[in-house]
A and B are shown apart, each in its own frame.
Chain A
Amino acid sequence: MEETVHFATANGMLGSVWLLVAIPLVSAAILLLLGRRADRWGHWLGVAAIGAAFVLGLTYFFQLRGLENKQVQLSLWQFITAGDLKVDFGLLFDPLAAVFVLLITGVGFLIHLYAVEYMAHDEGRRRFFGYFNLFVAAMLLLVLGNNYVMLYFGWEGVGLASYLLISFWYGRPSAATAGKKAFLMNRVGDAGLAIGIFVLFAQLGSTQYEDVFNGVGALSQTTVLVLGLLLLLGATGKSGQFPLQAWLPDAMEGPTPVSALIHAATMVTAGVYLIARSNPIFSANSTLQLVVVSVGAITLLMGCLIGAAKDDIKRVLAWSTVSQIGYMFLGVGLGGAAYALAIVHLLAHGFFKANMFLGAGSVMHGMNDQVDIRRFGNLSKYMKVTWLTFMMGWLAIIGMFPFSGFFSKEPIIVAAFEREGWTAWLFGMAALLGAGLTAFYMTRLFVLTFHGPKRWTEDIEHPHESPKLMTVPLVLLAIGSVVAGFLLATSVPDWLTATAGLGGEHAEHEPVLAHWLLTTLSLLVTVLGAGLAWFLFRNGTATEPQPAGVLVTAARRNLYTDAFNEAVFEKPGIFLTRALVFLDNRGVDGLVNGLAAAVGGGSGRLRRLQTGFVRSYATSILTGALLVVAAFLAVQAGWLA
């Protein structure tokens, strides 16, 4: 039996932790409400707000380090009271929340800085920063809430911001469609999360983390399974995991800083956060954990396969995000000490993926906003900083020693091999295969973009390096890509033990293969994958689509998942809608219109009784009086009793 969860009350400096949410929110409100008046200085306000939040976050982080009970909560006011349902507007600052706060505000600050220059020529820059700050506020609320309703509040907030930013260039049909697609698919997941919260309230009478974690032991296994699956549905929706992954690559229609911050570093990891935060629920049922692990494994392989077949630089990165989050799901699904490993990978990934997205943005900046890697090549000569920083990100993501990804990904692979029985082989091999594939397609991306002969379109003569304001964040993130993995892997698991439920012991199982062998193997597949890609693409590639085999064709078409969604959900959905519209027009509207006509007709007829003659009014009163008196007498006589 695990010990009970108890959150201390925040006091002193930590009592003002709400400022973390309030500062970006106020800044967003100012930017969005002031309108054009804020056009000249609005972006700097946006950057300053996030910078201030980062400094505050750091201060709170050091405060928290000095505390005995590292989980402090703060109840600001009663948010909802309806019958038995009482929800506080409450915040929880604990080690898990703290690392997320630092990731969101730290990486967020760099990306904001980058965006000042990246969006400089866009008329909507102020609006962009307004939405961007709104996103940061919502994301911070998501990770800082001390109950599931607060989490849901932030969850919907980031969903809104994501929708607004994906369709930021709403004039483009593709951006508008991508926004709608993201919105709709997230609806599916969000509905799952909402129902999950309803179940929590129905079963436990509370949505506070404290009550839920202490009460989950008393629930039946079936309830825990259903609850966990609902939360998982929410998590897969937000994190672009199987089966709700299709929206994430399309979300790259938004400006590149959005892809970097929202659709790579932070928002899409909310699903991982949800599962890590709800670890007492997920750890309570082994079937549930198996489902999470399976989702992770399926997604990570799927992301690799599709990523290897795409030619759009941002989409390849997007699919690699899908795949890397698959690793994180694998980690949180394994449970125990692997929770911390998943969080480490999440943080490390935040750095190197933001780095690569911003690098991709820098490439696009120099190449007239083109995204087709078949049309790049040899850019290492022209964009030195972008090239070198991107290289750091590339080495990190493929897990090359001693870069960041090695320290964060390899332990997850090892942990997968630590499962019991045949599942150790299944998931372990999947993770290992994924590592090889990742090395292959990321190397393909890197080589095609920066090396080999140039294959540019005619209109490009001199690609240029991006301005300082863009390269400085790149350099900082690149440093993060190099060292973050080692630093995080050695400190974060320890730090996280103070979080509710994350203090698990190291798994008692030994991996089915020796640890050193696994490390060697994973490095080997990485080198093999990277080497193969280098060999195949060192001389560039054809600039036209090539005929391909079954697997590549399938991968180009997203493994037919879009076709599946279209056939199974969209077509019947459209048919159902049409049927309902027909029913509504003929049936419901007929009834409503009929009733309305009846009321109108009755009204017209009754109106004639209002003749304007006092005599008829008096008659009406007299008739009414007779009826009322008769009725009263009938009551008295007991006839109406």
Chain B
Amino acid sequence: MSELKLPSLDYAALAPILILLGAALVGVLVEAFVPRRLRNGVQLALALLAVLSALTMVILNADDRLLTAGQAIAVDGPALFLQGAILILATMALLLIGERSVERGGAFVAHAAVTAESPDDRRQAEGAGGTTEVYPLATFAIGGMLIFVAANDLLTMFIALEVFSLPLYLLCALARRRRLLSQEAAMKYFLLGAYSSAFFLFGVALIYGFTSGIPGRTAGVDFATIHAAVADSPASRTLLFAGMALLAIGLLFKAAAAPFHVWTPDVYQGAPTPVTGFMAACTKVAAFGALLRVFHVAFSGASWDFTPVLGAVAVLTMLVGAVLAVTQTDIKRLLAYSSIANAGYLLVGVLAPSKDGLSGTMFYLVAYGFSVIAAFAVVTLVRDADGEATHLSRWAGLGRRSPFFAAIFTFILLAFAGIPLTSGFTSKFAIFAPALDANQAWLVIAGVLTSMVLAFPYLRVVVMMWLSEPGDATPTVTVPGALTSAALVIGVLATLVLGVAPAPLLDLANGAAEFVR
């Protein structure tokens, strides 16, 4: 039995992760010691400070290309790019989470478990401040995502998966309005999430088995070992392929790809809207970041034999997302199906095994994240006395009542539909072009056709907003507070700028598009 050796840690490279996890722990202490009155402000400031200082560290580390913590964490181009993306999008999401002027007390319930009609319930109906635990929870989740996209072995990846998933389950349950729907969504998300984690873990076990017996190496689930094993393991390749399949299922679940998407509409609808925006943007970045790393680093030796299978998943995902979006009547569910279809497009990018494919996918993640958070920001603003008015029929004639916000939402929908001069067009182009170069024309054709189908539900909303007469039931748009305004402005501007002048970000993504092994 050899002596236990502690791995060396490159603290500077790990700083973004450490800052967030540390801030989350401090946040828990704030809950215990800071008076209730001050908590919201302190927590929001703490979370934003943590995210922004982590972002600063990511920028300072921009040239790092190294493995640290005993090869468990890779700090390389894609990791840093995606961490930066997660942090920027998380900033916007935190702004939405922290908004308290759109609805008195914020979007979150005052106490996690309030019995209906109890005095606590009445107090919260009168606008008592929402629970402030959401900030440490969100910070934990962000920290987990940062590890997830940098994880260089499957166990670290699994732990990161759980670190960011568990707070998300809780966050989903904390909606101030429609609490039963929210709690049901959280429960479903938790059960199915646990279920898919099991698939992931089983896959890890099979891969571990596959790596045993390579001459000169011990078995392990770090990517270097897996890569070596793919090249010359004596073990049965059935283990490898079954393991890859199960791993992929675990990741595709988080990415909301069909047929593992089933939780998405219910959870997106039930969760508090700021959290939905957070999930739609940041979880997507994290899940696809991990998918990219697993397939580009660990299994690249398997020569992409599995491309047709994942391609079929991509096509199915696009189809399900696009076709089901057509008949949705709830704006949040509509955006959920749009998010599913976008997972399909992103898979097309993942399956283009080239530098352009990698950078295109990363660009898409950022562009989509900005637009989707802006979209959910608008959703938080369209409300009546009962909270958000998410049924589409309620949006009829919104263009007459609130032309400014209707115009912003129209612009975002056009971006989702991929109209030129929006980031939706440039990002789709960035993904489809490498796919064509990789001879994946069938995926591009499916992508374009489903985009056409998907344009229908988007444009239907546009038509409803502008061409229908406003009825008595048409809600007005609440004038947003400073925080929501900031998030909205960032999202819309980014959507426009990335559509008109995508080159700087594309260059950045291109420069970052190389993994370390």
Contacts and interface: CB of A to CB of B under 8 A. Distances in A.
Contacts of B228: none
Interface in A564-618: 596, 599-600, 602-604, 606-607, 610, 612, 614, 616-618
A620 interface: yes
A184 interface: no
A624 B192 CA distance: 13
B405 interface: no
Nearest to B259: A624
B191 interface: yes
B145 to A, nearest CB: 22
Main secondary structure of the interface of B (DSSP, over half): helix
A19 B422 CA distance: 32
Given A602-B323, A612-B266, A624-B260, A629 B246 contact: yes
Contacts of B253: 621
B74 interface: no
Contacts of B325: 603
B112 interface: no
Contact of B244 (A596, A599, A624, A632): A632
Nearest to B241: A636
Given A632-B242, A632-B309, A603 B327 contact: yes
Given A606-B323, A624-B260, A625-B246, A614 B241 contact: no
A603 B308 contact: no
Nearest to B327: A603
A599 B262 contact: no
Contacts of A600: 326-327
Nearest to A621: B260
B262 A621 contact: yes
A635 interface: yes
Given A596-B456, A636-B240, A603 B323 contact: yes
B257 to A, nearest CB: 9
A16 interface: no
Contact of A625 (B199, B258, B453): B199
A608 to B, nearest CB: 10
Interface string A618-641: 101101110011011101100011
A632 B456 contact: no
B347 interface: no
A640 B309 CA distance: 9
Contact of B312 (A621, A631, A633): A631
A524 to B, nearest CB: 65
Nearest to B243: A632
B305 A635 contact: yes
Contacts of A636: 237-238, 240-241, 305
Given A600-B326, A610-B265, A628-B248, A635 B260 contact: no
B415 interface: no
Nearest to B305: A635
A612 B330 CA distance: 15
B192 A633 contact: no
A633 B238 contact: yes
B324 A635 contact: no
B326 A620 contact: no
A620 B262 CA distance: 8
B41 to A, nearest CB: 38
A633 to B, nearest CB: 6
Interface string A369-409: 00000000000000000000000000000000000000000
A631 B266 contact: no
Nearest to A634: B309
B335 to A, nearest CB: 15
B199 A618 contact: no
A421 B119 CA distance: 112
B199 A599 contact: no
Interface in B250-309: 253, 258-260, 262-263, 265-266, 305-306, 308-309
B367 interface: no
Given A599-B326, A618-B192, A621-B262, A635 B240 contact: no
Interface centre among B309, B453, B456 (most CB of A within 10 A): B309
Contacts of A624: 249, 258-260
B359 interface: no
18 contacts: A603-B325, A606-B324, A610-B266, A610-B324, A614-B187, A616-B262, A617-B188, A621-B196, A623-B259, A624-B258, A628-B249, A628-B309, A631-B309, A632-B242, A632-B244, A632-B306, A636-B237, A641-B305
Interface of A: 596, 599-600, 602-604, 606-607, 610, 612, 614, 616-618, 620-621, 623-625, 628-629, 631-633, 635-636, 640-641
Given A599-B323, A633-B242, A635-B241, 14 more contacts: A606-B320, A610-B265, A614-B188, A617-B192, A617-B262, A620-B262, A621-B195, A621-B196, A624-B249, A628-B309, A628-B313, A629-B242, A629-B245, A631-B309
